[in-house]
Amino acid sequence: MVNSVRLPSMRPDGNSTFLRSGADFTSCAVTPRKFDMRAKLTSALEHRPELAAAKLRRESSREQLRAAQSARLPDLTGTAGYGGQSSRLDSDSEKCWNVGVGLTLPLMTRGALQAGVDQARGGLQQSEA
């Protein structure tokens, strides 16, 4: 019958020896690591690709809703120009300028634009579900 257990050990010179049970292991102190379960779960959730994809779909849906809502607004444009005009090449040209303002209202396409907003809003609700 054997009263001791032989445990392998590596010496600093690279050779292995065996330790007998009952050897003094008090000099082999083990420092416990702090384990934060909440931080580990948060990290795991942040690195899941399907959750990242869902977040990107939600952001895309929000931007589509903003674009659909802004399409219902009037479009204001402005133009300006300055130039010259002459009937002969050797004469001074007459100076002229022009200014223009344009306003486009989506009157006839109001229903289609509202349908686009409703569709974008539905897509956002679906991505948030």
Q: In whole angstroms, what is the distance from residue 84 CA to residue 5 CA?
A: 106
In a domain, 64, yes or no: yes
Residue 66: closest CA among 17, 3, 8, 124? 124
Using one digit for the tens of pLDDT, what is the confidence trace for 70-111? 888 888 899 999 887 777 777 677 888 889 999 888 888 888
Residue-level pLDDT at 94: 80
In a domain, 121, yes or no: yes
Residue span of the structural domain in which 121 resides? 43-71+108-129
pTM attached to this predicted model: 0.47
User: How many structural domains are present in the chain?
Assistant: 1
In a domain, 18, yes or no: no
Residue-level pLDDT at 10: 57
Tokens 């344009």 map to which residue? 102
DSSP string for 33-57: PP--HHHHHHHHHHT-HHHHHHHHH
